[in-house]
Chains A and B, each alone.
Chain A
C-alpha cells in the first residue's frame, strides 16, 4: 500500500511541531480582545516535526519533477532550473528586505530590478519593462491595460476590440475580457497560421490591437509576421506579443524587430525559474518607447548611479502590492548573467533542433498535420496507424508508466488528438532518443496490446481518476470529506 494519509489524519490533541520563545510581557493578554476573538479554534493539524517532515516527504514522492525525468510538456518550457539561482535567492540579503525601507538601504535590490528589466529590453528589442506583474496571464492583462490606456490617452475611445487567432492560449481572450475590451477571434488557415484575408476583414477603427504568439501554439513561425504587424499598425492598432513561446526565438529574433509594441515574458519558462508546481512565476511586461509612460506603478528609475522609486501620472495604475515576485526575478537575472550574450544565442537554436529531431523520428508513427519545420515544439495529431482507435489520452498515460511526464494533450484545439511536445534545450541526445524509442514502442503497443494503453498508467501512485465524481460531489476540504464519509454514500 502506498502512503495515503492527509496531514489531519496524523493529528493528536496537544501534540506540537513548533517551538517559540517564552512570553516576554506576560502581563498583556490577548484575551482582552474579548468579543473580537474567534469563538472556536481553527481546525489545524497537531503533529510533531518528524511527522510533518515525513508526511510531506512521502507525498512529494508522488510527484514527477524536471529532476525526476523528461518533462516534454508543450508550451510550458520545462527546462532545467539551475541550483545557483536557488542559492542566490536564499543566501543574500534580498529575502530580508522590506520594500518600504529607506531607499538608501535597498540600492542593490533596486539596481537588480533595473538591470534585469534592461536586459529583458535588450533581448526583446523593446524600450522598458515592468517586473511587477506576477505571472504570464497577469502580464497579458497589464499589457492590454496599457494598450487601452494608450488609445484613451489619444482620445480614441472607440478602439475596444482585440483580434486573437483561434489557436491562441485561453488566457488571451480571458485577459481581454478582464481588461474591459472585446475579443474578435479569427480563424487560422489550413497551415495553422494567421489568415491574412480573415485579418483584413476585421480591421477597422474599433481595433485596439492584436495578440499573437510567435511561434504560434502549433510551434510554427508566422512567416507573414511583417505583413500582419503592418496591417494592424495601418489600421491604428497595437501589436501584443504573447511571450509564452519566446524560448524558440532566443538568439534568433527579437519581438520588437517583428513589429510588436507590447509583450510579456514568462520568466519561469524562458529564463529557467522553477515552475513550483504551478507558481510563483513572473510575467514582466515590456513596451516600445511611446508606451513607457503607461507602465504600472511603482516604477524603478535610475539617475546616474542612484536608484529610486517613482509613481508616474500617466501609468495604468498599480497592479500589484509591490515589485512583483521579486525573488523569482532575481533567479532569472542570475540565469541571464550565467549564460551571458554568447550562450543566450544558443537557447533558441538548440531547443528548435531538439524539437525537429523528435518531429523527424516520430512522424513514421504519429500523424504530422503541419509539414514545415517546427520551432521549439512539435504538434502531432494522434497515432498514424491506429486500428484499435487508441486516443492521445491513452498514449500520454502510458508514457507515465515509462517514467516520463506526458506532453501537453488536446491543445491546440485545431486538431482532435493534439500531442504537443516541447523538449527544451537542456535535454541531451540520449534522453531524447530514449523518449523517441518509448513513443515508438507505445505506437507498437497500440496495435498489439491496446488494453494496456486504455488502462494505463499502471505503475504510478494512483491510476486514472474519476473527474465527474469530483465535480459532482464538490468535496474541497477535509471538513467536506469527513461529512461525505459520515453520509456513507
Chain B
C-alpha cells in the first residue's frame, strides 16, 4: 500500500469482478504489446516523507541565501504574513478554473477584485485575469497591437529588459511578425529616433517604465505621435511602481502589461510570478486570456462569471486571440490580498521607503568616487552605475559578505560592458545598506 493510493487488495478484487476481468492489465488490451512498458522506470526507489524532506534539504543546503541588492525584474519586497495564510487555504489552492460558477464564486470574486485593482493602477479600463509572467504578457500585447492595427511590425525600445526583448522576438519571429529596435539616448527611449522610424507598417511600440536600468522615462507627446500614425502604444513595467508613477492611462497608452512579482512575491528562482495585461474598453475583444464579469443568479444575487469566452481557444480554436487558457490564478489571489492589505496608503509607503533607501545608497556610492552615473535620470528603487572597479572583484567581495548586488550587466550586451545594477527595497535596513557600502568602499 502507498499513502496516496487507497486501493486495498480486496477493493481491487471487487472492482475487477464487477468488470468481469481478472487483472488490471486486461484494461490495457488496446495497447500494442510492442509499446507496453516491460520494466520499471530507471528512477530511485520510493522515499518516505522524512527521506524526501532530507533529500531536498540536502539540495537546498547547496544554495546560499543572500542579501538582495539587485532587481532586474525581480524585487525583494516585503511579504505580509496574511498572504500565505490565505493563499494556502485548500478552497483556493486545490480548486480548478471556475467552470462551475455556483461553486467557484471565491475564485471569480477575487479575479474581479484583481481586475479592479489593475484597472486603477494602470489607469486603463479593463484588465484580464492574468498572464504567465511579464515577458509573455509583453509578447501577447505585441500580438494584440498587430491584430488591432492589422499591421505587421513592432518597435521595441532598447531600454527594455533583455529577457523581455528576447521573449518578444521569439514570439514575433514564429508568428511571422517583424520588429525593429528603437535606440536609447542617455539611458532612456530616444523619441527623436523613434519619430523617424514610424511608417505605415508599424503596428505598435512597446516601452518599459521604469526601464531595465531602473530609470523613469518620460512619454510626453509620445501617445499623439503614435496615434497619428495609427499605431498602438504599449507600456510595460513593474506593477508596484504604478502605485506612485504616472500611469499608462495618463501617458495615453493603449495597452499596459508587466509583472506583478513586485507585489511581495518571493523571488522563487524566477517563478511563479504573474503577468498583468490591461487595455482600453475598445480593444477588450482583442485581449487574450480569461476575463471575469459581474452578473446575477436566478434569484438576483450578485454573482461573477468568466465572460467574453468567444475570444478564447476552447471556443474559437485555431482562430482564437491566443492559445492561453487558465494560468497563475493563485498569484491573482496573491496580488489581490497584497493590494488589499497594503491598500491605498501602503503601496505609496512601500515605494517611498524604497525610493529613500535607494537614493541614500546611490548618493553614498557616488561619494566614493569609484561609481559614476552615466545617465543622470530620475529613478525609483533601482539604478545603474558605471564603476572603475572590476565587476568580478565587486561580485566576489559582496559574495564573501553574503550579499548579491552590483550585478554586472555586461553579460546582457556588449553595450552594457561597464554597467552594474543596484536595487533597494523597503526591506533593506540601514545596517544592511551600510554593510554593502563598507565592503565597496574597501575595494580598489
Contacts and interface: CB of A to CB of B under 8 A. Distances in A.
A321 B110 contact: no
A187 interface: no
Contact of A429 (B14, B269, B273, B330): B14
B195 to A, nearest CB: 22
A134 B327 CA distance: 8
B313 A170 contact: yes
Contacts of A452: none
A11 B25 CA distance: 60
B369 to A, nearest CB: 21
Contact of A337 (B14, B56, B107, B349): B56
B270 A323 contact: yes
Interface in A215-232: 220-221, 223, 225-226
Contacts of B173: 317
Given A170-B320, A279-B326, A42 B269 contact: no
A52 B341 contact: yes
Contacts of B291: 476
A99 B74 contact: yes
Interface in B1-59: 2, 4-7, 11-12, 14-16, 18-19, 24-32, 34-37, 40-47, 49, 51-53, 55-59
Interface string A253-283: 1100110000000000000101111111100
B225 interface: no
Contacts of A57: 86, 89
Interface stretch (B123-131, B151-159, B227-235, B436-444): B123-131
B287 to A, nearest CB: 10
Interface stretch (B179-187, B197-205, B238-246, B382-390): B238-246
A65 interface: yes
A21 B353 contact: yes
Interface stretch (A79-87, A194-202, A382-390): A79-87
A141 B324 CA distance: 10
Nearest to B313: A174
Given A350-B7, A360-B18, A30 B43 contact: no
Interface stretch (A235-243, A437-445, A459-467): A459-467
Contact of A178 (B27, B175, B272): B175
Interface string A273-309: 0111111110000000000000011000000000000
Interface string A420-442: 00000111110000000000000
Contacts of A79: 4
Nearest to B290: A278
A138 B131 CA distance: 11
Given A30-B355, A353-B15, A20 B346 contact: yes
Nearest to B40: A341
Given A63-B107, A93-B65, A174-B323, A44 B18 contact: no
A364 interface: no
B72 A337 contact: no
A151 to B, nearest CB: 12
Contact of B305 (A375, A400, A460, A470): A470
Given A98-B70, A317-B166, A373-B29, A52 B337 contact: yes
Most A CB atoms within 10 A — which of B6, B84, B242? Answer: B6
A361 B18 contact: yes
B418 interface: no
A330 B5 CA distance: 22
B416 interface: no
Contact of A340 (B44, B96, B216): B44
Contacts of B49: 84, 338
Contacts of B371: none
B130 to A, nearest CB: 7
A321 B303 CA distance: 35
A485 B274 CA distance: 31
B376 interface: no
Contacts of B143: 178
A223 B318 contact: no
Interface in B221-272: 242-247, 250, 259, 266-272
A318 interface: yes
Given A44-B347, A65-B90, A78 B96 contact: yes
Contact of A474 (B284, B302, B305, B328): B284
Most B CB atoms within 10 A — which of A24, A47, A111, A484? Answer: A24
B102 interface: yes
Contact of A20 (B15, B94, B126, B426): B426
B212 interface: no
Nearest to A321: B135
A396 B100 contact: yes
Interface residues of A, number: 200
Contact of B112 (A6, A16, A112, A253): A6
B413 interface: no
Nearest to A140: B323
Contacts of A411: 314
Contact of B244 (A30, A63, A104, A340): A30
A33 B95 contact: no
Nearest to A58: B106
A112 to B, nearest CB: 5
A42 B90 CA distance: 31
Nearest to A33: B378
A38 to B, nearest CB: 5
Nearest to B341: A17
A177 B170 contact: no
A170 B314 contact: yes
B375 interface: no
B344 A41 contact: yes
A225 B32 CA distance: 8
B95 A178 contact: no
Given A67-B94, A134-B271, A279-B329, A4 B302 contact: yes
Nearest to B79: A95
A38 B404 contact: no
Interface string A163-205: 0000001110111111110010000000000000000000000
B318 A183 contact: yes
A45 B344 contact: yes
Given A170-B320, A463-B297, A37 B246 contact: yes
Contact of B303 (A63, A135, A462): A462
Contact of A96 (B32, B43, B65, B91): B65
A463 B331 contact: no
A208 interface: no
Nearest to A2: B301
B352 to A, nearest CB: 5
Given A63-B92, A138-B136, A361-B18, A38 B246 contact: yes
Contacts of B31: 221, 223, 252-253
B149 interface: no
B368 interface: no
Nearest to A220: B30
A64 B103 CA distance: 6
Contact of B356 (A24, A221, A352): A24
Interface string B397-408: 001000010010
A353 B356 contact: no
A61 B102 contact: no
A466 B297 CA distance: 6
17 contacts: A20-B78, A30-B352, A42-B120, A63-B92, A90-B84, A96-B266, A97-B63, A278-B98, A278-B107, A318-B166, A321-B163, A326-B272, A327-B271, A339-B46, A360-B18, A429-B7, A466-B296
Given A16-B345, A274-B93, A470-B307, 11 more contacts: A24-B430, A53-B86, A63-B105, A67-B90, A104-B399, A138-B324, A174-B320, A254-B35, A356-B27, A465-B295, A475-B295
Nearest 5 interchain pairs by C-beta? A322-B270, A340-B46, A278-B326, A276-B330, A108-B62
